[in-house]
Structure 1
């Protein structure tokens, strides 16, 4: 059992607290079947170090887990990790989580690059990401009003702390997914073929039952020749359906 990185420094008033979905990602990425898959894909020591991107890092617990346990997960230590989050407070918290985890577990052998404050993966160069991880806002709930984002994404001028209204908005960003909980996820799915590296890129996306994972997987398989989508992790059941599912997305050689 690999240890869970500490997030004791994170203020959960405005940053998503690790929960069942976060821990399902940890369990899935460290499962024997997935480490075997990833090591087969990335353990060539002479190849370029893989770049791992997590979009929506929140507390940073998932990215920190991957960075700190790169040797176990990928069969190599020279792994580059990068995160993004629309919440600037999450970016700062996650960066500390990752740095602390690497220092404790990997003795600095994996490389943490940064956590970037931005919208999804819009800052990434085409076909630059080898492993993409996304725990999206998947709850079917009205999307937050992004017109106030610049105002709420920092401590107000002249103030020492954020307001309750501001904190509520920032937390809403982490869970509200719009119609069917899929508005943000659909935006990200459209860009996955363009950001994954062509020869070895793989993505892990978390979905809930209301997101209709079987429909999503079929849609991905219809992207074109070689595209694959399979469930590789599941947590709990509700009315006979897995409550949460991790979908692995990759492209087989044609």
Structure 2
């Protein structure tokens, strides 16, 4: 098994703590079937280095895992990784997680760019991402009140700690997905065709059962010729809306 990056420096009062969904992504991306798929797509050392983006990095455990294990996952180490998160505290924590994980490697290091504080992939250049990863706020719960965001997204002036209300708001950003848990995910799905590279772009999106993944996959296939969506990972143990799946989205090269 590949090692899980350390997140011991992260304050989980205001940043999402790695849980079953995070570990399902790690297991899926490092599985034999997915590493074979990714190495077939990106393993040619003469091609340009893959650019990997994770939106909603949280603690950074998933992005750090990909960055630190690029040679195993992609068959090459020259991978560029970057992330975004709407939570500025998560951005700082995730950047530290990724840098530490990359610096521990001795067998060729991937390149970590940064984690940008922003809304989904709004700061990303079109057609620039080769692999996209998204563990969305998928819980069917009322969306956070974003009118508080500017105030709650920074440490209060003159304070050394955040309040319970601020921490609660920041954690809501990581799990509350609105109706059917799909409001934020639908916004991100609409951006995916525009950010993925035209020839080899691929995305991994986590969904729960109440997100109706079969319907989501069919919608993606209807984006146009060549678009494909398949389940490539599953928690496989829990009933109800808590059952999790990883959907791979890509455009066929054939």
TM-score bin, normalised by smaller chain: over 0.9
Aligned match of 1:158: 158
Aligned match of 2:170: 170
- Work out the CA distance in 1 between the residues paired with 2:86 and 2:241: 31
- Work out the CA distance in 1 between the residues paired with 2:120 and 2:239: 32
1:190-237 Cα offsets, whole Å, 9 max, x none, are 010000000000000000000000000000000000000000000033
Report if aligned partners of 1:234, 1:242 keep a CA contact under 8 Å in 2: no
- Work out the CA distance in 1 between the residues paired with 2:223 and 2:10: 39
Matched residues, number: 254
The question of 1:12 aligning with 2:12 is answered yes
1:106 Cα deviation from its structure 2 partner = 4.7
Q: SS state of the match for residue 246, structure 2?
A: strand
Aligned match of 1:89: 89
- Work out the CA distance in 2 between the residues paired with 1:107 and 1:161: 39
1:105 Cα deviation from its structure 2 partner = 2.4
Q: SS state of the match for residue 82, structure 1?
A: strand
Aligned match of 1:56: 56
- Work out the CA distance in 1 between the residues paired with 2:85 and 2:242: 27
Aligned match of 2:66: 66
Aligned match of 2:195: 195
- Work out the CA distance in 2 between the residues paired with 1:241 and 1:169: 23
The question of 1:21 aligning with 2:21 is answered yes
- Work out the CA distance in 1 between the residues paired with 2:179 and 2:241: 20
TM-score (norm: length of structure 1)? 0.98
Report if aligned partners of 1:69, 1:106 keep a CA contact under 8 Å in 2: no
Could you tell me which runs of 5 or more consecutive residues in structure 1 were left unpaired when the two chains were aligned.
none
Q: Give 1:172-187 correspondences, 5 Å limit.
A: 172-187=172-187
RMSD, aligned α-carbons:
1.2
Report if aligned partners of 1:138, 1:185 keep a CA contact under 8 Å in 2: yes
- Work out the CA distance in 2 between the residues paired with 1:139 and 1:197: 30
The question of 1:47 aligning with 2:28 is answered no
Aligned match of 1:112: 112
Q: SS state of the match for residue 168, structure 1?
A: helix
Report if aligned partners of 1:236, 1:242 keep a CA contact under 8 Å in 2: no
Report if aligned partners of 2:15, 2:59 keep a CA contact under 8 Å in 1: yes
With over 3 angstroms needed to count, the CA separation of the structure-2 counterparts of 1:231 and 1:109, relative to structure 1, is same
1:160 Cα deviation from its structure 2 partner = 1.1
- Work out the CA distance in 1 between the residues paired with 2:239 and 2:62: 28
Report if aligned partners of 1:234, 1:245 keep a CA contact under 8 Å in 2: yes
Aligned match of 1:76: 76
1:172-192 Cα offsets, whole Å, 9 max, x none, are 000000000000000000010
Aligned match of 1:230: 230
Q: SS state of the match for residue 243, structure 2?
A: strand
- Work out the CA distance in 1 between the residues paired with 2:159 and 2:108: 37
Could you tell me which runs of 5 or more consecutive residues in structure 2 were left unpaired when the two chains were aligned.
none
Report if aligned partners of 2:35, 2:73 keep a CA contact under 8 Å in 1: yes
